[in-house]
Amino acid sequence: MQLTTFSDYAMRVMMYLGLQQGQLATISEIAHAYGISENHLTKVVHHLALRGYVETVRGKGGGLRLVRAPNTVNIGEMIRASEGNAGLLPCLNKEGACCIQNTCKLMGILREAQSALFGVLDQYTLADLLLKEAPPTQIKP
């Protein structure tokens, strides 16, 4: 399974904000730190704000910050929120998506693999991703 760029950017934003310890950061700062498009990050930040992960502050001196403490932000939950119900194959998401679905043994194996993936991701929080000893000043994409 390959996560989308959207999920990658969402995790980068969350890690960046987690290192700010409640201080406001701007989309421009984050985009510059990671060398990615501000336009893409704007969409990601909007998504994160709608789901209650970040707070946005408008106006001069505004920016964004985490709403929740890093140890309460579950990685599996975040990935599910950004990826939607995407399965490893389309047939895992809805009945009748495949002509051999009734006899296919691969579907069960892939469901088990997907469940194991999220089982691992669910064991970690944003706090587990934050480097306390030597926070990165710039992380390359």
Sorted by sequence, the CB contacts under 8 Å of residue 12 that are 6+ apart come out as 30, 34, 36, 139
Would strands 63-66 and 54-57 be described as parallel, antiparallel, or unpaired? antiparallel
Count the neighbouring beta carbons within 10 Å of the beta carbon of residue 21.
10
What's residue 106's pLDDT?
82
Read off the pLDDT band of 123 (50, 70, 90): very high
CB 77 within 8 A of CB 119: no
Over residues 16-44, the mean pLDDT reads 92
Domain spans of the chain, in order of start: 5-129
Is CATH 1.10.8.50 correct for 5-129? no
Read off the pLDDT band of 33 (50, 70, 90): very high
What's residue 95's pLDDT?
59
